[in-house]
Amino acid sequence: MLPQQWASQCGNHCTKKYTSLTEIPWRVFCKKGCDNDADTWEECISECTDLCYKAPVLKDQQWSSYIDRSPGAVKQSEECYTACLAGCGYKVGLFYRI
């Protein structure tokens, strides 16, 4: 088995979509969209929302958002959501596959 065959096709799609080193977090969230348990687009959207838009664990403590693995800042949550949806779209067949 070749290294490019180790990941799922959806995972490979995410790797190609987010290739630069600065996009590693978004590649991870894209792959989370690929790997979630949703069977429909609506369920996948819901899981991405839950993943990317979380309230901090401790109110008024900015660092606490890292405990629950949400991206934290609003802009980062939006980019997380976009990346997660890219994985969902590939998973459920809504977007053109690379």
Whether 28 is covered by a domain: the verdict is yes
In the chain, the number of structural domains is 1
Whether 97 is covered by a domain: the verdict is no
Per the structure block, which two tokens stand in for 58?
A: 């401790």
pTM of the model: 0.72
The parent domain of residue 67 ranges over 3-92
3-class DSSP state of 76: helix
Whether 38 is covered by a domain: the verdict is yes
Whether 98 is covered by a domain: the verdict is no
The whole-number pLDDT of residue 76 equals 86
User: Given a cut of 70, is residue 37 above it in pLDDT?
Assistant: yes
